[in-house]
Amino acid sequence: MRLLIVQYGGDYREAFQLVYKDGIETYHAQKYVLDTVLDITKQVDEVTLLCCKSTQIYNDVIAKGLRVIGAGVEPSQQINTILQILTRQKPTHLVVHFPMPDIFRWAIQNQVKTIGLLADSFLKTGLSRQWKNYSLARLLNHKQIDWIGNHGVNSCFSLQQIGVKPHKIIPYDWTHYVTPELFSAKQLQRNGDAWKLIYVGSVIESKGVGNILDALAILRDRNFPVTLQIAGSGEIGKFTDYAERLGIRDRITFLGVVPNHLVIKLMRDADIVVVPSWHKYPEACPFTIYEAFCAYTPLVASNHPMFRGNLQHEVNAMIFPAQNHHLLADCVIQLLSQPHLYAKISAASAISWQRLQIPVKWADLIKRWLYYSSENDKWLHNHSLTSGHYNSPSC
């Protein structure tokens, strides 16, 4: 048995060194993934972790039975390179971590047992997008594709809405070692000359980074003192220049990629966590929301469809229409001007975090599928969308 797990980005060769030699996780659940695949190597011939968009090209065996491959390509532009790697590796079992139709098509044509483990939302907007969603759903419904996991319940219902059969869809989550039990609810209290905002995630336009900067300029003009920390990689140069043009560069700190264990501390020290994603960005259920709930730091978030039901305005977050920086600024002012509202939202964090928990974890789904038995198959069916365990998104 040869298991191959294909991911869009990441570098598990580097992660292996950081996790097991230095004890550092750059991103959430890296050690969990590595621990899981090392355990699987004891029962299969080989496990391969293929990262498509790596900074280097490599093909190394880093532990007995564990191979890591960095393709060094953007898969949407050089998909043939990825398909050639798959052909050379000859997997018997394939796990696909992003919705790339050509990879699923390759698996069907080569009769490779396959599951998808996605972290994406699928919105029915525009004819072009609807056609792509329809084509993807047809592939995912093929009998060669055994299961489709998606991170979070709302994202799974979005798969059903584009035509994927609900009995094949399983909501999954990662393990969470940090929980709200480690902290307590917060009261509104300014430490220093300005309130502290933080954004954690990809530094790109569709994640709403420009909207935060525009809101900061509005807050400056209203003499409302705030600073912003931005943690993550991406178009940092572009947004640094934009902050300069807005005249707010001195209020922003670009931290770059921050080790995962420091993210909660940064959030705990902040007064607000901002999650301003545009609707077009295919969010599932961002770790930022889980982590903000753990830190008891109130969220100011966009009304992205995948947040529906999980985030409620003035209950456990402040919600503004995506891409509306004026109302983003208003939410910040309202939250930081009303101690009772701030305390109420912070206090709701623990129960909000608990409601996000899902029984199926990443490793469970892979192992139950990989080690086929009637018991494991029944377990998977009992956790699909048709099991009755999950509520569809509400207001």
Tell me, yes or no, whether 157 lies in a domain: yes
Indicate whether 79 and 28 sit together in one domain. Answer: yes
Name the DSSP class of 10.
Answer: -
Look at strands 66-70 and 58-63 and give their pairing.
antiparallel
Indicate whether 111 and 33 sit together in one domain. Answer: yes
Report the sign of the C-alpha dihedral through residues 173, 74, 233, 67, in that order: positive
Q: What is the pLDDT of residues 129-164, one digit of tens each?
A: 899 999 999 999 999 999 999 999 999 999 999 999
What are the residues whose beta carbons fall under 8 Å from the beta carbon of 310, sequence distance 6 or more? 154, 285, 289, 352, 355, 356
Q: What is the pLDDT of residues 348-362, one digit of tens each?
A: 999 999 999 999 999
Tell me, yes or no, whether 49 lies in a domain: yes
Q: Give the residue from 228, 235, 227 showing the smallest Cα distance to 203.
A: 235
Indicate whether 288 and 366 sit together in one domain. Answer: no
Indicate whether 112 and 156 sit together in one domain. Answer: yes
Tell me, yes or no, whether 395 lies in a domain: no
- Looking at the structure of the chain, the number of domains it has is 2
Q: What is the pLDDT of residues 92-134, one digit of tens each?
A: 999 999 999 999 999 999 999 999 999 999 987 778 889 999 9
Mean pLDDT across 183-209: 96
- What single letter denotes the amino acid at residue 88? R
What's the token pair of residue 293?
A: 């709930």
Tell me, yes or no, whether 15 lies in a domain: yes
Tell me, yes or no, whether 219 lies in a domain: yes
Indicate whether 42 and 110 sit together in one domain. Answer: yes
- Model confidence at 191, pLDDT cuts 50, 70, 90, reads confident
φ, ψ dihedrals at 130, nearest 5°: -65, -40
Q: What is the pLDDT of residues 44-78, one digit of tens each?
A: 999 999 999 999 999 999 999 999 999 999 999 99
Query: Hey, is 225 helix, strand or coil?
Result: coil
Indicate whether 344 and 200 sit together in one domain. Answer: yes
Indicate whether 136 and 27 sit together in one domain. Answer: yes
Q: What is the pLDDT of residues 237-288, one digit of tens each?
A: 999 999 999 999 999 999 999 998 899 999 999 999 999 999 999 888 889 9
Helix locations, the chain, DSSP H: 12-17, 30-40, 79-89, 101-109, 127-140, 153-161, 209-221, 236-246, 260-269, 287-295, 325-337, 339-347, 349-356, 362-370, 374-381
Look at residue 395 and tell me whether its pLDDT is greater than 70: no
pLDDT at 394: 47
Which CATH number goes with the domain that contains 92? 3.40.50.2000
Indicate whether 364 and 343 sit together in one domain. Answer: no
Tell me, yes or no, whether 393 lies in a domain: no
Domain encompassing residue 115: 2-177+358-387
The CA distance from 256 to 346, in Å, is 27
- pTM here is 0.91
Q: Which residues of 177-187 are buried (b: 16+ CB within 10 A; e: fewer)?
A: ebebeebeebe
Indicate whether 11 and 124 sit together in one domain. Answer: yes
